[in-house]
Amino acid sequence: MKTLVVAERKGTELRRVTLELAAKARELGDATLVEIVSERYSPLPFVSALAQRVESEKPDLVLLGATLNGRDLGARLAARLGRAYAADVTDLRAAGNALEISKPMYAGKVRAKLRLGLPAVVSVRPGAISLKEGAAAPEVTKIEADGSAEKLTFVKLAATATTAKRVSLSEARVVVSGGRGLKGPENWHLVEQLADALGGAVGASRAVTDAGWRPNEEQVGQTGKTVTPDLYVALGISGAIQHLAGMTSSKVIVAVNKDPDADIFKIADYGVVADVFEFVPAFTEAVKKVRAS
Amino acid sequence: MKILIPLKQVPDSTVRVKVAPDGTSVVTEGITWSISPYDEYAIEMALERKDADPSTVVAVVTVGPERSRDALRQALAMGCDEASLVTAEGAAPLAVARALAKVVAEAKPDLVLCGKQASDDDQGFVGPALAELLGWPHVATITKVVPAEGAVELWREVEGGHEVWKAPLPALATVHKSEKEPRYPSLPGIMKAKKKDIPERPLDALGVDVAAPTWTVVSMEPPPARGGGKILRDGDAKQIAERLATALRDEAKVL
């Protein structure tokens, strides 16, 4: 199978999901990677450049990361080319002259296996494909975004300072999330210090983002981000079904909650029934000690 | 300004979705249906524009089965002005987008707001596809819309902040969140919605090409059950914390 992978970069480094896609594409057969170069993502210039490339190379499959921009670009590309499309896929394999894909549906409450005809466009959830450490860096061809296709004007970037130095939530291998049990935004240093000790990203429950304690972009759950880290730590989160939908595929789940009947304990691998204010500082110290040894 | 919102009726987010005995679909009997959550945010965003400028007209449309009428009625009760239904069962996503493009061509809205994805298939296809078929620009996953002289400023949440884009009208945006939580229908709103006519026509009557690539379901299953986890209890906070950190390193191998 001939696959075209759309590479994404964060800063100067290729995103981890791009390496995952490259590994999968090589497994499926012939793989080429393209990176669309522009100051920032915008759908029309990106779709225009990518569609031209796809029409000249005629890959059976276009793979993108199911990132904020990858999902948007993939959908519009599939519509432009009239190709079959599946978003946020967690696994894929060749099946005759079609693809068999696995995809969570109903916000993760169902896992579907679907058959998708070729040619197709597929976006793959970051972290879903395992990456062998030390694999050779893939070769990436850079193509220019087609500025002549643009109909929008970029006005400005209104930055929020909070998340600048941490890894992005959707791609983080460790996520530490706080809920209403933290009692207020002034206590978020507890979540942040633990996240830093673990080298992870900070998330929040919907109750917390709705209350304005934390920005929306940190919300994990059905109307927020879906994360699949190796380790998910839920602090003071009761475990509403909408929150579980966003994190239940994490490899290992740790829950800390005062209420022994909290639903989060039903899906946790390790549970601690404790006051977060007492337990989290002790746990942060213990993590530092274990990681240092 | 006229704002059109294509919406989808989906199982309510509180429904514990179950796989049907055939193993390729989900149980739909007796479940509660709702407007898909991101479509509700789109409606709220449009109604906030209407609150600020009462001359704003907010219309909703859905391409779906007959039961979707309830979702349209709900949107009218929230305060939308018009609703229409295109009846279709199991139409391919691209066919849905083509039907919506036809509706947009007739209704001539200035702005189309779509939820960023429906909470059943989580595809997020129809919004960008509709913009593509219309030849319109679009901005994805917005959290705010501000009118600006024949254009709109669309705020889009990205890592570390918001990008602000100016789109000439007509334009399309997919909505991640509204500034306020979606409003509940008021009692007068519900009464008014009951009296409103919701015109209906079948997909075939639109004269759009319904042939489009789609998938076939091989199987559906619940996610692997979790559980069998352990609760760490004995000792004080420091002792439990140390046992947990050690277990994460030696047993779970994630540290």
Residue type, B227: G
First to last CA, chain B: 54
Count of domains observed in chain A: 2
Residues A129, A16 within the same domain: yes
The pLDDT of residue A165 is 59
Answer left, alpha or beta for residue A47, where phi above 0 means left and psi between -120 and 50 means alpha.
alpha
Residue B255 with chain A: CB contacts under 8 Å: 198, 231, 287, 290-291
CB contact under 8 A, B163 and A273: no
Substitution target from B28, B41, B209, B255 for chain A, most A beta carbons within 10 A? B255
* A174 touches B at CB < 8 Å: yes
Residue A86 with chain B: CB contacts under 8 Å: 123, 215
Residue B213 with chain A: CB contacts under 8 Å: 82-85, 117, 120
Residues A205, A270 within the same domain: yes
Q: Which domains does chain B have, with CATH numbers?
A: 2-206 (3.40.50.620), 226-255 (no CATH)
The pTM score is 0.88
Residues A138, A17 within the same domain: yes
pLDDT digits (tens, 9 = 90+) for A226-273: 898 999 999 999 999 989 989 998 999 999 999 999 999 999 999 999
Nearest-CA distance from B158 to chain A in Å?
A: 8
* B230 touches A at CB < 8 Å: yes
The pLDDT of residue A107 is 84
How many CB pairs below 8 A link A and B?
261
The pLDDT of residue B166 is 98
Residues A118, A17 within the same domain: yes
Contact A125, A87 (CB under 8 A): no
Share of chain A above pLDDT 70, in %: 98
Nearest-CA distance from B59 to chain A in Å?
A: 23
Task: Tell me the three state secondary structure of residue A104.
Answer: strand
**What is the DSSP code (8-state) at residue A225?**
B
Residues A132, A223 within the same domain: no
For B238, the closest of A150, A156, A282 (CB atoms) is A282
**Which tokens go with B12?**
């309510």
Query: Residue A201's domain is classified under what CATH number?
Result: 3.40.50.1220
First to last CA, chain A: 46
Residues A225, A253 within the same domain: yes
Residues A133, A31 within the same domain: yes
Query: Residue A119's domain is classified under what CATH number?
Result: 3.40.50.620
Backbone phi and psi for residue A144, each to the nearest 5 degrees, phi listed first: -80, 140
Residues A240, A116 within the same domain: no
pLDDT digits (tens, 9 = 90+) for B33-77: 999 999 999 999 999 999 999 999 999 999 999 999 999 999 999
pLDDT digits (tens, 9 = 90+) for B184-233: 999 999 999 999 999 999 999 999 999 999 999 999 999 888 877 999 98
Residues A182, A134 within the same domain: no
User: By CA distance, what is A154's nearest residue in B?
Assistant: B165
Higher pLDDT, A226 or A187: A187
Contact B106, B28 (CB under 8 A): no
CB contact under 8 A, B221 and A111: yes
- Residue finishing a domain among A149, A181, A205: A149
Q: Provide CB contacts within 8 A for B7, sequence distance 6+.
A: B35, B36, B39, B42, B43, B60, B61, B62, B71, B72, B75, B115
Nearest-CA distance from A136 to chain B in Å?
A: 24
CA atoms within 13 A on the CB side of A65: 24
The pLDDT of residue B249 is 94
Please give the residue range of the domain that contains residue A61: 2-149
Residues A250, A128 within the same domain: no
Residue A225 domain flag: yes
Residue A203 domain flag: yes
CB contact under 8 A, A75 and B128: yes
Mean pLDDT of A42-49: 98
Residues A143, A176 within the same domain: no
CB contact under 8 A, B254 and A160: no
Residue A160 domain flag: no
Residues A58, A196 within the same domain: no
* B108 touches A at CB < 8 Å: no
Q: How far apart are CA A198 and CA A158, in angstroms?
A: 29
pLDDT digits (tens, 9 = 90+) for B172-186: 999 999 988 899 999
Whether residue A132 is predicted with pLDDT greater than 90 in this model: the reply is: no
Whether residue A162 is predicted with pLDDT greater than 60 in this model: the reply is: no
Taking each helix axis as running N to C, give the angle between helix B126-134 and helix A43-57, from 0 to 180 degrees, rounded to the nearest 10.
90
